[in-house]
Amino acid sequence: MEITQKEIEKVSALDSNKRYSYFIKKVCDWETIWVMYNDEFGYALNIDKLDNSYLFVFPNKAFTNLYIENDTDFVDYKATKINLSTFLNELSKKFISKNVNSAFVFPVANGDGVNIKIENLCKDINDEINENY
């Protein structure tokens, strides 16, 4: 699950759609999803102009920490690992029930990431698992 600085730089430079593909592959390989969490505020969310909430998700602790280091809004958050099975079978449903219907997948320092419905994210992950694992 460790990655090199070179890989971090190379993957961070990819466009958001290529990072999304990397994300899907790696969360399946590593069987984890990473989020930002704060004991007082809970999971870090991105809230858009229409008041839609998006859960930030990352493929690895290093990418999560890099985002935290580059965004002062999340300085008090910690990279937190979630078992992929737990996310797919339990947490995704809990987020949706609390009107967190979407995910902000693998954003980088400039804020660029993929916005996707959580149910579609779960489908893409399950498709990858069914095809390649």
The per-residue pLDDT for range 3-49, each reduced to its tens digit, is 999 999 999 999 999 999 999 999 999 999 999 999 999 999 988 88
Positive or negative CA dihedral for 46, 88, 117, 95?
A: negative
Binned at pLDDT 50, 70 and 90, residue 92 comes out as very high
**Rg (alpha carbons) of the chain, rounded to whole number:** 14
Which pLDDT does position 121 carry in this prediction?
A: 98
The residue assigned the tokens 């920490």 is 65
Binned at pLDDT 50, 70 and 90, residue 133 comes out as confident
Which pLDDT does position 124 carry in this prediction?
A: 98
d(CA 11, CA 52): 28
- How does pLDDT run across 67-91, given as a tens digit for each residue? 999 988 899 999 999 999 999 999 9
127: its two tokens: 């498709």
Binned at pLDDT 50, 70 and 90, residue 2 comes out as confident
Q: Nearest 5°: CA angle at 94, between 28 and 53?
A: 90
pTM check: above 0.75:
yes
Q: Are 105 and 23 in contact (CB under 8 A)?
A: yes
d(CA 110, CA 113): 9
